[in-house]
Every structure is written in C-alpha cells, then in structure tokens.
Amino acid sequence: MTELMDFAKNLARRAGRLLAEKVTKNNQIYYKGTIDLVTEADKMSEELILTEISRQCPDHGILSEESAVRNQQATLRWIIDPLDGTTNYAHGFPFFCVSIALEKERTVELGVIYDPTREDLFFARRSGGAYLNGKKLHVSSVSDLSRSLLATGFPYDIRVSPDNNLNYFNLMAIKAQAIRRAGAAALDLAYLAAGRFDGFWELKLKPWDTAAGCLLVEEAGGVISDMTCGKWNLDSPGLVANNGLIHEQMMEVFRQV
C-alpha cells in the first residue's frame, strides 16, 4: 500500500496541475443535464489518471465519474473524481480538487484529495491517520451545534425533485452557527478532517464524491453515518459526517424534518 499511496499522490498532483494550467484558458463545456456539466478539463484529467492506472496497475478495477466501469470483478478498485467542483471550475471559482481512492473488497484503504489552487494535498491510509502536506490532521473540538460551521450541497435535480435538501437546509440554517455551500463534496470532507468544518451532510452523492473524503474524516477522528444514523457505505443515498461531538445534535435536526 505504501507504493500505491505514493503513486496516488503523484497522480493527483499531476492531474491537479493540469487543471490549474487549463483553468485560465477557454474550456469546452458539455451539459449532462439541465445544470450538470462536464468540461474539457474533466476529460483531460481523467484520461491522464486512467492511462497511468492502466499502465501501472492493469489488473485493478476503475470506477470514475466520466467513464465506464473497468475490471468490475477486480479485488482492488480505484475510485476517481478527476475534477470535483466542475461548476466552480467552469466559472473560475477556485474551489475544486482531484479525488483518488483505492478500495479493496468494498473497503476504502487509501484516499488522496489534491487542491491545486492552494497546493493542499490531503491523504489518508486506513489505520494510518490523515494528513495535509505531511501534517497529521484531527477533526475540530466544537461540541455545540449552534457554534458549528457546517457544509452541505444540493443535488443536480434540485429543480425537479422534492428530495433536494432544501428542507434539511432550512432547519439546519437556524440551528448551526453558519452553513457553507462551496460546491465540491470531496474538498468539504477534506476540510472537515482538517478541522475547518465541524460537520457536513448531503444527499445523492456518488462513490467518487465520498470515497477518499470519508476515509480522511474517519482517520482524523470523525464520524460518518447515513441520514438515519445507520451504517454508511458508498452506495448510501445520504451522508452525514462530523467531528463526532455534534453528531447526535445534527441527527436530531434531521429527525425533526
């Protein structure tokens, strides 16, 4: 796993630097839905990552946001978001990242999140701790929801689906100190692991949004669950993550909704 961690870090940096170079140039934008988009940079970053994985680890599986699943029966599987925060990126808003995780038999063993704008490299290995640029991370010590800074997001079908997080947001907004909606779930989770956020929740996330970030949170001492306080997995329809001290307070708000 040490060699694979080094490989993932290097790959995230390379993809992130590609994104940073491309952000100042014109990018072709394609729409996958009414507001869900993908840029030329997404595809370039993904091509770089997938090519290197296929070359270095040809027997590994791959689950990536913009491509078909590869080697589905493999024991080891890479879970990749080549550009989390695409809408931000397309508008020149500097909150986006590359997220790479490695899963072994349905358990995420390592995760890397790279923010090229700030040159922040977050990484974690199961039972090995979470780090930012080599410095060990720990979640915050805030124990009162009313003094907590939370993060969340809204699904791409917000215009047509009643299950759109607005009900949870409306009640949580008057319970927490403040809520931020920055637009990149992987980076939100990395910030939670670093103690910059105290809690996070979101609906309808995909494995590439959460695989690396949730490992970071757990290894930094945080807690994750689904929206009913049950055990969370990569296919859960909702995610709640926090420092562990405000978990029950957040769940109480969700129960009221």
pLDDT value of position 243: 98
Calpha distance 227→254 (Å, rounded): 7
Spell out, as residue ranges, where the chain has pLDDT lower than 70.
24-27, 30-38
Exposed (0-12), middle (13-18) or buried (19+): which is 100, by Cβ within 10 Å? buried
Exposed (0-12), middle (13-18) or buried (19+): which is 92, by Cβ within 10 Å? exposed
pLDDT value of position 41: 87
3-state secondary structure 48-97: HHHHHHHHHCCCCEEEECCCCCECCCCCEEEEEEEEECHHHHHHCCCCCE
Strand order in the sheet with 97-104: 61-64, 76-84, 97-104, 107-115, 120-125, 130-132, 135-136
pLDDT value of position 125: 98
In the numeric block, which tokens belong to residue 143? 């124990």
pLDDT value of position 25: 62
> Computed from CA positions of residues 245, 246, 247, 249, in that sequence, does the dihedral angle turn out positive or negative?
positive
pLDDT value of position 67: 81
Residue ending a domain, among 136, 168, 192, is 136
CATH number at residue 110: 3.30.540.10
**Together in a domain, 10 and 127:** yes
**Together in a domain, 79 and 152:** no
Calpha distance 240→257 (Å, rounded): 15
**Together in a domain, 194 and 250:** yes
pTM, full prediction: 0.94
Residue ending a domain, among 136, 153, 169, is 136
